[in-house]
Structure 1
Amino acid sequence: MASVEAAIPCLRFQQRHPFFRRPTAERLPFCRKSGLIVRSQQQVESKAFTDEENALINALIGIQGRGRSVSSSQLKEVETAVQKLEDQKGVPDPVSRISQHYRTFVGVDSFTVFQEIYLRTDDPRISNIVNFSDSVGELKVEAVASAKDGKRVLFRFDRAAFSLKFLPFKLPYPVPFRLLGDEAKGWLDTTYLSQSGNIRISRGNKGTTFVLQKETEHRQKLLLAISKGRQVREAIDQFVAANQTTTKGEFELLEGEWLMIWSSQEVTESWIENASKGLMGKQIVKPNGQMKFLVDILFGLRFSMTGKYVKSGSNTYDVVMDDAAIVAGPYGIPAELETKYTLQLLYGDEKMRISRGYGDIVFVHIRVQK
């Protein structure tokens, strides 16, 4: 199977697209690395998905950079989940049902990529849209589209233009599509469409695998808010409250490498103070109560700080970090720093953790799979 990109997270990927409903079209989110593309829309409970679909969603959680840095183990996990769903076939004649509203699962990037699909019109089209921001505008690349059969959609790119907020007109994108010949053409096969329509898997002519969602589960909603940088605290509060009713409320500080993707800190201190308080980089939880903060600086330099944690109550841990150094290869320069705080777990699973740490700052970490 081809390599896989996923979001979201979103967003987690090289490209990503949210999609908006139109009467006769499907606007699909698009993410890509060299393999898998994830899309999503409304927020619903996990019961909206089958066990096999949930396995795929879980495999995609935590993939950052739109899949560019996905580990081989997580890639294999996603590929296995995709294959299981494709083996089930899903509904027959999926192309006749793809004119629905889908939206891309999140990743954390500075822009968003969409894909619009219009099949039930006099001018069937597929459009890839790069949205730079609400204030800047977008680039739209369009293709003529047609359904070859119940599984495959053919397309040929023929025009592109910028729509920028500071210009009263569209600016043509100088790509000679007519001179590209077959390079401007392609196809997309839908290999799985769930009975509910919530999950779709497609494969493209260049070996890319796309995973699309019509509805998202709670973690994806939170990651989407983080990727947009909007109303994150509200999304966290809603997520934690929703999970208090579905879990026993007891979480463990799981071992592994955890990458911080968001914190509620508003006051900026020096980078070394932020690093010593776990406000940057990775938090590595080791056996026997050992913990490390690790931050890549530049030119191979790293900030490293080790310490210990002890469980002190329900969902709480006392943390003492007191051995800091600036590290370059096997060498290190000690730094006189010490940080003490109580770590409270607000939510935790094998993929994502929400906690309250130093100075009552709220953190969201995702687990880095090797």
Structure 2
Amino acid sequence: MATKTGIQLAIITSLNPKKSLICLDSSSSSSRRLLLSSSQNRRSISISRSALLDEQQQEISFTEPENKLIDALIGIQGRGRSASPQQLNDVESAVKILEGLEGIPDPTSSSLIEGSWQLMFTTRPGTASPIQRTFVGVDFFSVFQEIYLQTNDPRVSNIVKFSDVIGELKVEAAASIKDGKRILFQFDRAAFSFKFLPFKVPYPVPFRLLGDEAKGWLDITYLSQSGDLRISRGNKGTTFVLQKKIEPRQKLLSAISIGTGVIQAIENFISLNQNVAKDELELQEGEWQMIWSSQMETDSWIENAANGLMGKQIVKKNGQMKFLVDILFGFRFSITGTFLKSGANTYNVTMNDAAIIAGPFGYPVELETKISLQLLYTDGKIRITRGYNNIVFVHIRT
């Protein structure tokens, strides 16, 4: 939904795990350490909690075409704002495939359209309003759309949730159904609800004076049979992807983007997947961007870079690996080496050819680092490992 006064709505991602077993060391949450779970070292999980997690996983079900769209969203920041041309193409291709399939017929009349939807992705045409540009592309904020059509006062509301502590901004529109796919709306009120104030603060936009500028429509081009995935297109040409239920992988990525609850998200994700067959994991080739680690501080940035605590890891089939870190003003740090499998899910990594690079020139740096790398989880899109100094890393394949 995109108008000059509205907030774009629709949002984020899921995992298709080739599972491995890890659990959190619950004895010290502040240390943020992860332990590899084995028959000798496994933190027990209560039956009731395990059953609840299993039930939650069973409730979240997507078809193969739906999973392709969810996979395409992984690694896209700002709900599409920072997407590369290739990422945008992958998402659009997956969207068109779903729009060509049979979802819920006449979605505007279905009870599955009702409720709160979280925005995972949106295209951002130049007609997007200032409030859309300000809030929708910020990962720290959660963005939702509420749809309630089967009431005496049908409404569509766009909500930006700043945090549980701060509060939210809610922009509401009176709504009506035009046909089986299209919802008509007209924005008529908006307000900030701050947790620290006993009253709402009006959002200063004179909707009544805007006339047609406060009006718009929203087409539901795909609604999944489960009612958990929706694709919509707005009157300004904007595409939205929204979800009701978010898979553990998506929750993990969202927690990392926000910067809170990462440990809990990893724990929940692993707990949901720990009963799956213990396949031997392989270090997959490709370019992997580090997005989170359980510890970021060492004595110097060059040690961080050399030990894989920064930047990208490039893995090649021939047993070669490179750590690449952008520094400043076009300078990059590069260190290459080799990896050799030493166990079912472990590798010995030796990095010993380092240089600071500027354009075609390189300045050699004498460094050598040896790391024991454990693959804790990988599915080709996300990788969780334990490496230098027992630090846990989350990488996304770019």
Q: Does 1:92 align with 2:105?
A: yes
1:82 counterpart = 2:95: yes
Residues 238 and 305 of structure 1, relative CA distance in 2, 3 Å threshold: same
> TM-score under structure 2 normalisation?
0.75
Task: Give the 5 Å matches for 1:77-226.
Answer: 77-97=90-110, 98-105=113-120, 109-226=139-256
* 1:310/1:319 contact within 8 Å kept: yes
Q: Name 1:64's counterpart in structure 2.
A: 77
Q: TM-score, normalised by structure 1?
A: 0.80
Query: Could you list the per-position Cα deviations for residues 238-283 of structure 1 after superposition, in whole angstroms to 9, with x for gaps in the alignment?
Result: 4335434334421211111111111111645433322222112211
Q: Decide whether aligned partners of structure 1 residues 87 and 145 sit closer, same or farther in structure 2, where only a CA change above 3 A counts.
A: same
**Structure 1 pair 137/47, CA: closer, same or farther in 2 (3 Å)?**
closer
Instruction: Give, as a single letter, the amino acid of the residue that structure 2 aligns with 1:8.
Output: I
Amino acid at match of 1:301: F
Asked if the contact 2:79/2:119 (under 8 Å) is kept, the reply is no
Partner of 1:51 in structure 2? Answer: 64
Question: Matches of 2:275 and 2:196 in 1, distance apart?
Answer: 47
Q: CA deviation at 1:68?
A: 2.4
Equivalent position of 1:352 in the other structure? 382
Would you say the 8 A contact 2:10–2:242 is kept in 1? no
Partners of 1:185 and 1:296 in 2: how far apart? Answer: 46
Residue 288 of structure 2 corresponds to residue 275 of structure 1: no
Helix, strand or coil: the match of 1:313?
coil
Aligned pair count reads 334
State which drifts further: 150-159 or 213-222.
Answer: 213-222
Alignment check: 8 A CA contact 1:136 1:165 kept: yes
Residues 319-338 of structure 1 aligned to structure 2 (within 5 Å): 319-338=349-368
Contact 1:240 1:346 in 2 (8 A): no
1:60/1:78 contact within 8 Å kept = yes
The answer for unaligned runs of 5 or more in structure 1 is 11-41
Q: What's the % identity of the aligned pairs?
A: 69
Once residues 277 and 88 of structure 2 are traced to their aligned partners in structure 1, the CA distance between those partners, rounded to angstroms, is 29
List per-residue Cα deviations over 1:179-199 (Å, max 9, x = no partner).
433332211111112222222
The letter for the 1-side match of 2:109 is S
In 1, Cα distance between equivalents of 2:105 and 2:209: 37
Assess, with a 3 A threshold, how the Cα gap between structure 1 residues 123 and 241 changes in structure 2: closer, same or farther: closer
Q: Which of 5, 8, 12 is the matching residue for 2:12?
A: 8
- The residue identity in structure 2 corresponding to 1:359 is N
> Relative contact order: is structure 1 or structure 2 higher (C-alpha 8 Å, sep ≥ 6)?
2
Equivalent of residue 243 in structure 1, options 254, 258, 273 = 273
- In 2, the alpha carbon distance for the partners of 1:268 and 1:111 equals 30
- Contact 1:43 1:216 survives alignment (8 Å): no
Distance 1:45 1:279, change over 3 A: farther
Higher mean C-alpha deviation, range 176-185 or range 49-58 = 176-185
Return the alpha-carbon distance in structure 1 between the equivalents of residues 59 and 393 of structure 2.
Answer: 24
Partner of 1:305: 335
Gaps of 5+ in 2: 1-8, 15-54, 122-136
Q: Name the Cα RMSD after superposition.
A: 2.8
In the TM superposition, residue 166 of structure 1 has moved relative to its aligned partner by 4.1
C-alpha displacement at 1:108, in angstroms? 8.0
Give the letter for the 2:212 counterpart: D
d(CA) in 2 for partners of 1:364, 1:314: 20
Change (3 A) 1:255 1:117: same
1:227/1:177 CA distance change after superposition, 3 Å? same
Tell me the residue number matched to 1:366: 396
Rg: which structure is higher? 2
Judging changes above 3 Å, is the alpha-carbon distance between structure 1 residues 46 and 298 closer, same or farther for their aligned structure 2 residues?
A: farther
Structure 1: which amino acid aligns with 2:388? Y
- Superposition map of 1:224-239 within 5 A: 224-239=254-269
